[in-house]
Structure 1
């Protein structure tokens, strides 16, 4: 089995919804998400509503723990039925934009960057080293009095969870936007 078979895959699917069809589309998204969560290797679904950051599109982000599991969902009859229903109801306009990323690329995705663009791996590694180090030092310093009372394993677990949450939702989106021109050059 190739290394990519065991690499987590995140897929973002952006669609422009017709005016007045938003609630119907959101209902469709929630039903689709409920079915997707039952597939092996599923790691979560996030729905971004239209905003300036998404270019006015709804964005569905689905994660799987491997390419094989993602492919199984992608080729499933259940997913196809949902896509057929979407076509029949005519809720969207324009083309669907799909972007798949795996491994480190997940941390460096931006809605405004074309799906064919990928940042340089050496630059991604350098940025991640700086961000991980900085976050660990900051978390350790800010919470040192409280963390010092915990067992080493519990301290490490709290630091890892805090770091991953901060990186995913706060730090990496900001850092990627800030360094976009350098990363994608």
Structure 2
């Protein structure tokens, strides 16, 4: 998405990205405190969900929490609430420095692959240089789009009365590709040019996996399931989908003389569509006892869920083995 196209994002969505550097040895205390913060946010009108991301490599102590609300007014009611201020005061002992936050109006959660990394960069743009900053950011996005692993970007303008920063959000398919871009000569040259338009900038990185397929609808989960559970669950839905398509759509297209590369594309469209809108919601609901972090708190639940998934693997292998003979 070009920066100019995102200057007037939809008003129905509002997100705040908070970043806090946690004192060494206080991660457990922080997570208990963050859980209380999440529970408090759920009591506010318009709450849609919260995700908490642990530190990524190289940022060992920095935790990121993302709160989503249906409307900027509802989000600001939460941000300005006395309850939230009380919790922030209580949590100061766990933090190194003051937590930061960026409010994003519009936009939507992106579906990501397991190793996807998102960078959130806030800019303090100099007064009167906004149009020049927009032109510079558009140039930066175009250069960035040529870098390996780039998956997309958005630019969010300041939110009047809430924050003054411009926020750029972009995604890469791996931490390595993101770091390569951030350290590249092309970006360093762009930063030197951009310093004429912004006084400062701040970079935060967020790692997420299959987030579009693991967004539970009731807003009661603190974060997505662990990566190993996500991978097992996606495979559980993906294997039978691909197998059925190979036995039906792949066979029919082959008889019609459709080239293999076109048939593969059509199969991918059908499988992704089936996973996103049909199978993953059903699997998530069936395995919620195992996938939802707040419910799967006992090792026996972890083992039971994994055993169920493995048994399903075996069942599918038997079924499709018989079907192909």
Band the TM-score falls in, shorter-chain normalisation: 0.5 to 0.7
Which residue in 2 is equivalent to 1:104? Answer: 107
State which of 52, 57, 63 in structure 2 corresponds to 1:47: 52
Structure ranking higher on relative contact order (CA contacts 8 Å, 6+ apart):
1
CA apart distance, 1:139? 5.0
Q: Please tell me whether the aligned partners of residues 48 and 70 of structure 2 are also in contact (alpha carbons under 8 angstroms).
A: yes
Residues 124 and 28 from structure 1, CA distance in 2 versus in 1: closer, same or farther, beyond 3 angstroms? closer
Residues 159 and 104 from structure 1, CA distance in 2 versus in 1: closer, same or farther, beyond 3 angstroms? farther
What pairs with 1:106-145 in structure 2 (closer than 5 Å)?
107=110, 112-116=119-123, 140-142=269-271
Q: Please tell me whether the aligned partners of residues 9 and 100 of structure 1 are also in contact (alpha carbons under 8 angstroms).
A: yes
CA apart distance, 1:157? 4.6
CA apart distance, 1:161? 6.7
Q: Per residue, is there more helix in 1 or in 2?
A: 1
Spell out, residue by residue over 1:60-101, the C-alpha distance to the aligned partner (whole angstroms, 9 max, x if none).
1100010000011011111011011113xx111023221221
**TM-score when scaled to structure 1?**
0.58
Residues 53 and 103 from structure 1, CA distance in 2 versus in 1: closer, same or farther, beyond 3 angstroms? farther
CA apart distance, 1:113? 3.8
CA apart distance, 1:106? 5.5
C-alpha distance in structure 2 between counterparts of 1:114 and 1:16, whole Å: 16
Q: Which has the larger radius of gyration?
A: 2
**TM-score when scaled to structure 2?**
0.35
Residues 45 and 32 from structure 1, CA distance in 2 versus in 1: closer, same or farther, beyond 3 angstroms? same
Unaligned ranges ≥5, structure 1? 126-135, 148-154, 163-185
C-alpha distance in structure 2 between counterparts of 1:83 and 1:53, whole Å: 25
C-alpha distance in structure 2 between counterparts of 1:161 and 1:53, whole Å: 34
Which residue in 2 is equivalent to 1:75? Answer: 80
Matched residue of 1:40: which SS? Answer: coil
Unaligned ranges ≥5, structure 2? 1-7, 112-116, 125-133, 142-151, 155-264, 283-325
RMSD of aligned residue pairs (Cα, Å): 4.0
Which residue in 2 is equivalent to 1:25? Answer: 30
Q: How many residues end up aligned between the 2 structures?
A: 139
C-alpha distance in structure 1 between counterparts of 2:53 and 2:278, whole Å: 27
